Structure 1
Amino acid sequence: MRTYALRLGPGQDLRQQLLAFTEQHQIRAGAVVTCVGSLTTATLRLANQDGPTVYKGHFEIVSLVGTLSTNGSHLHLAMADSTGRTLGGHLLDGNIIYTTAELVIGVLEELDFRRETDPVSTYKELTIYPAPKPAPLPRRASPKKP
Structure 2
Amino acid sequence: MQLLPLRLTPGADLRPALADALRAQGWDSAFVVAGIGSLSEARLRYAGEPAEAVLAGPLEILSLAGSLGADGAHLHMAVADASGRVVGGHVGLLGNLIRTTAEILLAPLPDWQLTRAYDGRTGFKELVVRPR
Where on the TM-score scale, by shorter chain, does this alignment land: which range? over 0.9
* Per-residue CA distance 1:16-44 (angstroms, 9 max, x = gap): 10122223334232111111110110111
Whole-angstrom distance in 2 between the partners of 1:94 and 1:33 = 21
Please state whether the residue corresponding to 1:76 is helix, strand or coil.
strand
Per the normalisation by structure 2, the TM-score is: 0.92
Q: Is the 8 A contact 1:116 1:127 kept in 2?
A: yes
Q: Which amino acid aligns with 1:101?
A: A
1:107 corresponds in structure 2 to 108
Q: State the Cα distance separating 1:85 from its structure 2 match.
A: 1.1
Q: Does 1:43 align with 2:43?
A: yes
Considering only aligned residues, what root-mean-square deviation do their CA atoms show, in Å? 1.2
How many residues get paired? Answer: 131
State how 1:59-98 maps to structure 2 within 5 Å. Answer: 59-92=59-92, 93-98=94-99
2:28 corresponds in structure 1 to 28
Q: Does 1:116 align with 2:117?
A: yes
Per the normalisation by structure 1, the TM-score is: 0.84
1:135 corresponds in structure 2 to none
Identity of aligned residues (%): 40
Bigger Rg, structure 1 or 2:
1
